[in-house]
A and B are shown apart, each in its own frame.
Chain A
Amino acid sequence: MKMEFFGDGPALVIEGEYRLLIVADLHFGIEADLAAHGLHFRSRSTDRLERLLKIIDMADPDMLVLLGDIKHSIPSITRQEYDELPVILDTLRSRIPLKVFPGNHDIGIEPYLRDAELQPKDGTILDGVGYLHGHMYPSPNLTGHLMVIGHHHPLLLLKDEVGCALQTPAYLRAGLDTDKLGMNTLVENTPPTRVLFMPAFNEIAGYDILQIVKNPFSPLSRFMKTEDAEIILADGTYIGSLSSLQSDETA
């Protein structure tokens, strides 16, 4: 297994037998929700799609895995999504086969997807790696695998010597407490089960990693082993362990 990081996504290529391009949390249609919160911007769907197409061209994968929250509005589809979504999905599938793991924002997306594209919400193994959106308990079948998930939109706050800070998308890799997650671990010599939290592709979504750890909002974030968690920037720069960041914070 080999990984390639695309910082401009953020996107990830995982290469085993095949080259899979992984992208999480596109949140097409987020602008309608922003407006409801008093922030008024035109739809940036085209820009976001262009960015994704460019990465597909660069990465040249065999398949595109969308880790959920393709769309944004819940509980129903907005006018913006009704207009945009079919075009977006058609544009993508005209280039490359799709696999979609629906997320909590994807209510009502099924009619827009083909049968072979739609994947189980609690995840499945593709080419040796587990995938799911990450808002619910993972399927026990994923035990002993690396699970790549979206949903959490991790951002890292970086500080330079004087304290000037910036937030940047980052990956969080951690071990899992499989017992508490109700995952089958009876088999001896099971390789470790790990989770990789993927940053959101949507350019304005984001939560501080330390907040995700402090106030977990999903089974996987609640039952990860924070002591061996490590952080990697969107472009693949290794940052270090979560615990070293936490000690910075309290220093």
Chain B
Amino acid sequence: MKQLELLDPKVQVCIKKRGFSVLSEAQKQAIPLIHDGNHVVLIAPTGTGKTESAMFPVFNALLSMPSRGGFKAIYITPLRSLNRDILARMQWWCRELGLTVGVRHGDTPMGERRKQALAPPDLLITTPETFQALFMGKRLRKHLTQVRFVIIDEIHELAGSKRGAQLVVALERLHVYAGEFQRIGLSATVGNPDEIARFLCGKRPFSVVQVPVAKQLDITVRFVGDDFQKQTEILSKILKREGSTLVFVNTRVTAEALGHALYEHGDVEVHHGSLSKEVRIDAEERFKKGEIRILICTSSMELGIDIGRVDHVIQFGSPREVSRLVQRVGRAGHQLNTISRGTILATGFDDLLESLVIVKKAKANEIERVVPQRCAADVLANQVAGIAVEYGEIEQSKIREILERTSVFADCGTLLDDVCRQMEEHLLIRLDGTRIITTARARRYLSGNLSMIHDERKVPIFDMVSRRTVGTLDESFVVGWVHTGVVFITKGQLWRVIEIADGKLTVEPAKKALGELPSWEGEQIPVPFSVAREVGEIRRRRNISAYTTERDSIRFAQMFLTEMDKNRSLVPSDHLITLENTDEGVVCNICAGHKTNEALGRVLSILISARYGTTVGLELDAYRMLLHLPSSIRSSDVRDFLLSLEPSHMPGILRLALKRTALFKWKLVQIAKKFGAIDPDADYEKISIQRLLEYFEGSVVQQETFRELLSEYMDIDTAAEVVNKIKRGDISVALGPFSMIGAGGLFSSRDLVPPPTADQAVLATLKRRLDQDDVFLACMNCRDWKIRTAVSRVPDHPQCPKCGARLIAALKPYEDELYLAMRKPRKTQADHAIEQRLLKNANIVLSSGKKAVIALSARGVGPENASRILATLTDGDAFYREIMKAERNFIQTHRYWS
């Protein structure tokens, strides 16, 4: 406890009073460093006294500062619920020490805010977003000059996001008023602590205190099979043996289903983001008091909200990421130096292998890196607007100074200029040479855009037929992609849009789908590349017993692989990619993780769609992708595409592939909103928003959309590396029959990759029309047979059933009278002319068959035009293009218009 001797006796007294008899490792290391005024990032599992480590020396310093004059320390957490939790803890300390503390976030009442503006507390607890708002008020700005400490809690949660990028710019804005202040970051275990520290401090020197987590974890993996009933039975048995337990699940749907299944336990509650704040707080409180023993939760419970003692953590299904597992299991044993116990219930082959790999990596402390978002243009736009409002008028060079001090916006080239020009385009700021001037709109924009979280209006989907609301869609998705007539999928059903009006989407059930359509059933947690690779390695080496001693798991995995062998299926692995034909298309089994497969899948899809002129549907997960293809394209074709990929061309191809997809337009609208182009309450009904979005072609808004998608949603560099491995022979590609592995897994994200040009849709429309058109077939030999039928039903070489001749004229339905003239015993001059025409027509059909019939049913195409089209000897799309040309010529003539 000698570290405490550094501190003021008053603080020491409080520490004793609060019952701290021993210091944790984290505290021992961090307290002296913080006391000495260093910028510190403290990385330790939850429950190791992180907050206290940071706050003891801060309290100590606050005691020696004069009271009044502004905020002295600002404590920032990512969540309001965490704020409340921290406030409850800090109130005791501050009361004892004679300091003032306040909380300020979205829920803070007006009266409390005013009080803070008049008499600012020494310690302010807030969120990143409300921190932004402090710069907007004159009086609040004055209170910022005294800030000596900023503590950022759960910084790992912010560092990889746009919220985080926004926050660190705000820290440098604070620097303008307060000068250097001390920065303290509190983080869960991450793979790259130094990068997190640089994220917090920029170029300033820093110290990292890291308490290893691995030795404190005791995690087992149990295989429970894929039957939900059996799963819950096993879970129920485990729960009976354990004390207070958190059950983590990956989706809200699973949370609800489990809550329902375990209802009879009587001491179970469900906790997830879709529940109201009151319900969640109530569940937390009751768990803390021991009234309920089991809490089923999603990532909502990962962060350090104090819920009292947790004896055991159960992870239902693979945790997908090492960091997530460590965080979740770290909630158990919420006492110093105790071991955290956790159990993963694995539900299938992929799930089991993945869980085992993740546990191994957790024990080896191989946690994922958190990668900060560099040069995010929409964050910059948001901050330029904030700064413009803050200063009224400011030189661009001043803003540049602020940005250069951060790690995420230093060295972003001309980004600031590009962003300012774009903002001027949307009338959010004015530019006068190098000066940036605020506008009346900017303040209004800021109050609607304090946050970089896309907290979006949800558009209700109203079913006309059943007269009820069937769900909601993200507004930006609706705006960017959905329009009248479009079919989309939600809640597993197909809907056609009838109308977008009055802020709701009116739909009717679609009777037939033209194909699989985009859907996002909540954002998925991606499985990292390294995890997927190692799963592939286990499949190849079949060394599952090196990972676990649990008999059920080993037996199941071995049985599964034996079954694959028996079926003569190839087992795809880290060294082998297999391609399999299915009824729906081609499955590519690639162990590369979500983001890499997403990039690779889209590149393949666009190449296929461009070559064959068809849209390709894409579904994928970490181990496989399913390409929805016309039945004529087989696995060998896909292999040829895969083998011919040129890694250096892939980024360019991917950009092209993204542009016309729903995902891209959705993101584009979200980012445009952050540039002030589109108000949160904009009314899109009167114009074609699709075409409005074309204004962003080549702009920094479009550039940011690409940057975000290519860094957050897909990993093109790793995809290119996989292709390199194929080229070098490190990974081989083989064709195989449809296998258990190929059929396995739930496909998470889906999208359509349309061909690069709009031309295909026009051709498709033309083909559909010609197919549906009626044609009048008439025998010119016996002159005694005629039939009216759809072009699509005409055989390749039409033949007269009466006389067997193939001299058949193909006439437009309204031309049937011409045929009557043929049977007249006496023909006039005009009749003879018609006869010549029909014979010419029939001769074309005789020599070219159905192709001639198709050409002849086109608008304004007679025998002359038809022979000209057929003489080009074109096939497929090129043939239809010739027809299109002929029709276009006809439309220009007097004959069509008079």
Contact = CB atoms under 8 A, between A and B. Distances in A.
Nearest to B860: A238
The interface centre, meaning the residue of A30, A39, A157, A211 with most chain B CB atoms within 10 A of its CB, is: A39
Contact of B688 (A2, A3, A44, A155): A155
B426 interface: yes
B487 to A, nearest CB: 6
Contacts of A160: 614-615, 754-755, 760-761, 764
Nearest to A192: B898
Nearest to A42: B425
Nearest to A30: B687
B679 A237 contact: no
B115 interface: no
Contacts of B617: 162
25 contacts: A1-B897, A1-B898, A3-B893, A34-B687, A34-B692, A37-B683, A37-B684, A39-B679, A39-B687, A40-B426, A40-B679, A41-B425, A155-B688, A159-B761, A160-B614, A160-B755, A161-B514, A163-B487, A163-B514, A163-B752, A164-B761, A166-B758, A233-B762, A238-B860, A239-B766
Interface in A8-53: 30, 34-35, 37-42, 44
Contact of A157 (B485, B676, B769): B485
Interface in B636-688: 660, 676-684, 686-688
Interface in B505-533: 511-517
Contact of A159 (B616, B691, B764, B893): B764
B859 interface: yes
A206 interface: yes
The 3 closest A-B pairs by CB, nearest first: A38-B682, A38-B679, A163-B514
A208 B678 CA distance: 23
Given A39-B682, A160-B615, A204 B894 contact: no
B297 to A, nearest CB: 38
A34 B677 CA distance: 10
B274 interface: no
Nearest to B425: A42
Contacts of B684: 37, 39
Interface string B862-898: 0000000000000000000000100110111110011
B117 interface: no
B772 A40 contact: no
B486 A165 contact: yes
B762 A44 contact: no
A50 B40 CA distance: 58
Contact of B681 (A38, A157, A247): A38
B502 interface: no
A165 B485 CA distance: 9
A146 interface: yes
B483 interface: yes
Given A39-B682, A40-B441, A41-B425, A165 B893 contact: no
B691 A239 contact: no
A210 interface: yes
Interface in A164-215: 164-168, 191, 203-206, 208, 210-211
Contacts of A211: 484
A167 B483 contact: yes
B768 interface: yes
Contacts of B610: none
A57 interface: no
Contact of A41 (B516, B695, B761, B891): B695
A161 B688 contact: no
Interface string A231-245: 011011111100010
B426 A161 contact: no
B517 A42 contact: no
A159 B510 CA distance: 15
A161 B679 contact: no
Contact of B691 (A41, A158, A203, A248): A203
Interface residues of B, number: 67
Nearest to A129: B897
A249 interface: yes
A5 interface: yes
B543 interface: no
A116 interface: no
A206 B688 CA distance: 6
Contact of B890 (A34, A159, A238): A238
A4 interface: yes
A58 interface: no
Interface string B414-437: 000000000011111000000000
A158 B676 contact: no
B694 interface: yes
Given A38-B679, A164-B761, A159 B514 contact: yes
Given A160-B760, A239-B769, 9 more contacts: A40-B427, A40-B677, A41-B695, A157-B485, A162-B514, A163-B615, A208-B484, A237-B888, A247-B772
B631 interface: no
B690 interface: yes
B64 interface: no
Contact of A205 (B511, B687, B764): B687
A248 B890 CA distance: 25
Contacts of B769: 239-240, 244
A167 B690 contact: yes
Contact of B754 (A40, A42, A164): A164
Nearest to A163: B514
